[in-house]
Amino acid sequence: MRVARWGVSVAAVGAVLLAGLLAGCASGGPVVAAEGDRAGRAVEVAAGVHMVRGLPGEVDADTLGRIGNAGFIVGPDGVLAIDTGTSYRHGVALLAEIRRVTDKPVRQVLITHTRQEFLFGAMAFREQAIPIAMHNKAAGLMRARCERCLKTLQRQLGDDEMRGTEMLKPDREFDDSHAIDTIGRPVRVLYFGHSSGPGDIAVLDERTGSLFAGGLIDHQRVPDVQDSDHDGWLSALGAMRRLRPRVVVPGHGPVASAQVLDEVQHYLGQLKQRVLDLLQSGVALSAVPDAAEVPEAAGWDQYDTIHRRNASILFVRHERDLLFRRADLKE
């Protein structure tokens, strides 16, 4: 009952969290993507480093859910694949792009974070006996909720598009940053703690300074705060900035320079401040999505959907924290 006094009903909180859950199932000038950079095609963004770009938009029949970026790094001894796509069929297409570029064996695939557009192509890699690795906290989150994600995808995309797609069980789970030495060039897996998600990682190709940022960075698309720890995310952005990446491959959107780290940090800061201002002024949760404008991001993909949900989620979190602080003061 005390929650309702401060403008957030249990039903409203539940609606916001459910919406989020379903949605989750040396820098220089701007990087210019290579000619021919388009969704579904592998583009070399640095020597031996390739990005396969996803489509803008939402998971639906038009995009076939193929909205997330994937990529791979080619070394003298093999290939490291990064993220697996939305479905078995998508995973097959990503493997075909690797084969189009090189005949070297794929030694491993890393999944950078727990979102449906990066997970469910894994069975295509599994049937080729390619080991799949992910952080143990990301794997735990996947086990907790992604059966529902998969069922939602099957309804959205249809049985034909999702044929052969199954829940993923990684071959290897890890809990910290580490080096990968299986492809003959130095690659680092970077874990910064709970940031954009509880087990989100980045992958750095040391030879070229290319950073696959996964869920930590979206470019020209609104980043999703659903699973985030705000302070942890800002700390991770600072750590990545200190790496001085030359090229950043985001989870969504076009390839970027290190400037994209500042853009994401600015958005997160503006979003938090706007939400705190609204909370202080007594605005009700129902009004938050319309009131929490961040004009600098208004032209980004999914501003009208993800940004509005972000504002509601942060508002609920901060109002909850305020309630607990006031309760502590009364005791």
SS3 at position 14: helix
> For residue range 156-209, what is the model confidence (pLDDT) as tens digits?
999 999 999 999 999 999 999 999 999 999 999 999 999 999 999 999 999 999
The pLDDT value recorded for residue 20 is 42
| Ordered alpha helix ranges (H), the chain | 2-5, 10-24, 88-101, 116-119, 122-126, 136-157, 230-242, 259-280, 288-291, 308-330
DSSP state of 65: T
The pLDDT value recorded for residue 26 is 34
* More confidently predicted of 281 and 38: 281
pLDDT over 90 (residue 316): yes
- Residue 83 sits at φ, ψ, to 5 deg, of 70, 155
From 17, 51, 35, 31, select the one nearest 213 (Cα to Cα).
51
Q: What is the rounded distance in angstroms from the CA atom of residue 216 to the CA atom of residue 239?
A: 12
The pLDDT value recorded for residue 325 is 59
Who's near 146: CB < 8 A, 6+ residues apart?
25, 114, 116, 119, 167, 168
Report residue 52's pLDDT band, with 50, 70 and 90 as the boundaries.
Answer: very high
Who's near 78: CB < 8 A, 6+ residues apart?
104, 105, 106, 107, 182, 183, 184
The pLDDT value recorded for residue 35 is 36
pLDDT over 80 (residue 291): yes
DSSP state of 83: -
- Would you say 323 and 2 are in contact if contact means Cβ atoms under 8 Å apart? yes
The pLDDT value recorded for residue 124 is 97
pLDDT over 50 (residue 38): yes
> For residue range 234-283, what is the model confidence (pLDDT) as tens digits?
999 999 999 999 999 999 999 999 999 999 999 999 999 999 999 999 99
Cβ atoms within 10 A of the Cβ of 282, count? 8
* Complete DSSP assignment for 237-294: HHHHHHT--SEEEEEESS-B-THHHHHHHHHHHHHHHHHHHHHHTT--GGGHHHH---
- Would you say 43 and 51 are in contact if contact means Cβ atoms under 8 Å apart? yes
